[in-house]
Amino acid sequence: MLKGSIVAIVTPFLNGKVDEKKLSELVAFHIKNGTNAILPCGTTGESPTLTPKEHERVIEVCIEAANKKIPILAGTGSNATAEAITLTQHAAKVGADASLQVTPYYNKPMQEGIYQHFKAVADSVDIPIILYNIAGRTARNIEPETMARLAKDCKNIIGVKEASGSLDQTSAIRQLCGEKFLIFSGDDALTLPTMSVGGVGVISVVANIVPGEVASLCQAVQEGDMKKAQKIHYKLLPLVKAMFIETNPIPVKTAMGLLSLCSSELRLPMSTMADKNVSALKQALVDYGLLK
């Protein structure tokens, strides 16, 4: 059910409010362009700045717009276990196909606390759970041994978005968790390397603006056409780097505004992109052929 290119979709804002019409249009845009699944309310979707009601509504809008044509992987994690359970139960109730659960951030729990947190969330619902390991934002790594324990004890914990940047760790996860455990790259630049060691796809930022290319990269690897995959990888790489000139999702939101895909409006503490970085971003879009 979950493989290939999963877009970490932006949350479009208009005059301070979630632009539900534009969000529905973006879902349709991804369905048309071959994206394999949609992740609302991830980091790229500015989930920390959404109110609980907005968070729930964004997920609902994506489910309604997708209309079962592609899966919805709802971002429902939190650093508070009770809140993560509430958000995940809501997502399950309204028809999400699976849930993405970020490591509890700021609290800095021990591995036992991480295990107990994810187990409590998994036990509260029947839908599949994908872990989200990004120590650069959360200050805690989910150790491969902890993932293996969770995969063994919780049948609905089926995979991980691995954003450690370490292929050694990705390989250890594959060895300890088995071939059925789904590993998604959490970094667009590492999609091809991650898939080469057993990953099944990417949860992507750059797919917000080039969904077809990211889907084609994943498909090429799945079909064993590494020459084609490498060609797409190297074409995408400068654009991917431009998406991280500043903290995500500032560059991708700015790019989407430049490409008239949605408003570039952000919510504080995300700030408007610096002029010199906008120039570099525009050049990357021109070089890729997206902007004249």
Share of the chain above pLDDT 70, in %: 100
Say which amino acid occupies 115.
Y
User: How many whole angstroms from its chain centre is CA 182?
Assistant: 14
pLDDT for the residue 1:
78
- Give the whole-angstrom CA distance, residue 252 versus residue 233: 18
pLDDT, one tens digit per residue, over 59-86 is 999 999 999 999 999 999 999 999 999 9
- Cβ atoms of residues 151 and 157 within 8 Å: yes
Share of the chain above pLDDT 90, in %: 99
- Cβ atoms of residues 64 and 24 within 8 Å: yes
pLDDT, one tens digit per residue, over 240-278 is 999 999 999 999 999 999 999 999 999 999 999 999 999
Is 4-226 CATH 3.20.20.70? yes
List beta partners, residue 14: 17
Three-state DSSP at 222 gives helix
- Give the whole-angstrom CA distance, residue 13 versus residue 110: 36
Angle at 100 between CA 94 and CA 103, to 5 degrees: 135
Please give the mean pLDDT across all residues of the chain.
97
- Cβ atoms of residues 273 and 242 within 8 Å: no
Q: Where are the domains of the chain?
A: 4-226
CA nearest to 44, candidates 4, 12, 22, 81? 12
- Cβ atoms of residues 232 and 215 within 8 Å: no
Catalytic residue IDs: 132, 161
Sign of CA dihedral 99, 158, 205, 222: negative
DSSP label of 184:
E
- Cβ atoms of residues 202 and 218 within 8 Å: yes
> If you write DSSP's letter for every residue of 245-267 in order, what string do you get?
SSSTTHHHHHHHHHTTSS-----
Residues in Cβ contact with 144 at an 8 Å cutoff, skipping those fewer than 6 apart? 169, 172, 173, 175, 176, 177
Helix (H) or strand (E) holding 73: strand 73-75
CA nearest to 20, candidates 56, 72, 74? 56
* pTM tops 0.85, yes or no: yes
pLDDT, one tens digit per residue, over 90-148 is 999 999 999 999 999 999 999 999 999 999 999 999 999 999 999 999 999 999 999 99
Give the length of the chain: 292
Asked whether the predicted pLDDT for residue 165 surpasses 90, the reply is yes
